[in-house]
Structure 1
Amino acid sequence: MQLVTEPYLTQVNRWPKTGRHILAQYDDQLIVVYQAYRPAIGNFAAKHGYFGSEFSFDRMSWIETNFLWMMYCSGWGTETGQEVVLAIWIKRLAFDEILAKAVHSSYVPELYPDKSVWQRELKQSQIRLQWDPDHHPSGVKLERRAIQLGLRGQFLAAYARDWIANIEDILDFV
């Protein structure tokens, strides 16, 4: 496995307890995001290094940088349709572009002049940003928030084919 791992009890002491944070494995070139899929999609992606076959380009696809959030969402790879857990290394410049163009799923008065502007931007956006409760390995919600990014349209197509440097099925580790 190519992921760099460290015991949870070692890492958690360095992490902020509250607030919105992007917890991720990254360097100047790449960042790891996580997704979980049914075998037909996940196995194809892990084998070929891109998304194709039964992957749908007609819907929004969500990526997470936070391993524990992905484990919570996928039931540690046991939820139906999420049996293949993938670590996906994408280009850091692409991730930065995703963040720059993301529109929050919920209205944030500090970021948008008024609610109608936010609604218009949200409707037109191909990238959604959500801050959801992070989770302890046991599944308990934490005060810290984890980022999720939803991609569709041209951004989903670029992510699925052009921005990926590596895909690894990490279910055995999970």
Structure 2
Amino acid sequence: MTLRIEPYLDQKARWPQTGKVILAQYDAESVTVYQAYRPAIGHFAAKHGYFGGEHFKLSRMTWIKPNFLWMMYRSGWGTKPGQEVILAIKLHRSAFDEILAQAVHSQFIPKLYTSQKDWQRAVQNSDVRLQWDPDHSPSGGKLQRRAIQLGLQRAIAEKYSREWIISIEDISEFIAEQRQHMLTRNYEALVTPQESVYEVVNPQVANHLQLSVLNAE
């Protein structure tokens, strides 16, 4: 596995406990996001390095999550039907930034949109949907911190599935191992992908996403 990993408790100690933040594994060139699929789709993607094959369809919105534990909560640590194969998708960082720049909130927010019609127009014209949801602990407990997920459709989904991917890795075996530590609440042994707060350098985009302003670590 190529993901950088670190003890969960070490990371928990430095992560923000509240606010809207993007936790992700990234470097100067890439950002890793996660998706869960049934085996027919997940195995094809991991083998070929892109999304395709007879079972993969772009007619529906596809959701990506840069936060590992948020993916674990949504997929039941890879146990929910149709979400057994967990993929770590490494994207070009410029592509991830483009996705963020085009994101439109899934709900009307008066501070950001002049009217409900203005927001509805933005939704219709955007290929990226944005949701902030409560983040969760390894065992599923709801946290005060918010986690981001991004829904992709139409042209952006096409680019994501083929053009923007650096690599795709099936991390289901790693997750199965760590799931045992989660089930026994053995958090001292639990390791998770190394993540830190992703800084959005464009202040207009950061403001539109409603990212929390954090003190320097």
> Which residue pairs with 1:19 in the alignment?
19
Deviation at 1:4, TM superposition (A): 0.5
> Which residue pairs with 1:141 in the alignment?
142
CA deviation string 1:64-115 (max 9, x = no partner): 0000000000110010000000000001000000000110001122211222
Deviation at 1:125, TM superposition (A): 1.6
Structure 1 residues without counterparts, runs of 5 or longer = none
In 2, distance between residues paired with 1:10 and 1:58?
41
Q: How many equivalent residue pairs?
A: 174
CA deviation string 1:47-75 (max 9, x = no partner): 00000011111110000000000000011
Deviation at 1:124, TM superposition (A): 2.4
In 2, distance between residues paired with 1:113 and 1:16?
31
126-135 or 103-112: bigger deviation: 103-112
Q: Say which one has the larger Rg.
A: 2
SS in 1 for 2:43: helix
> Which residue pairs with 1:110 in the alignment?
111
Identity of aligned residues (%): 63
1:24-35 to 2 correspondence within 5 Å?
Answer: 24-35=24-35
Q: Which runs of 4+ in 1 moved over 6 A?
A: none
> Which residue pairs with 2:127 in the alignment?
126
Superposition RMSD on alpha carbons, in Å? 0.7
Which one-letter code corresponds to 2:163 in the other structure? D
Q: TM-score if structure 1 supplies the norm length?
A: 0.98
1:93 and 2:94 equivalent? yes
Which one-letter code corresponds to 1:61 in the other structure? T
> Which residue pairs with 2:202 in the alignment?
none
Q: TM-score if structure 2 supplies the norm length?
A: 0.79
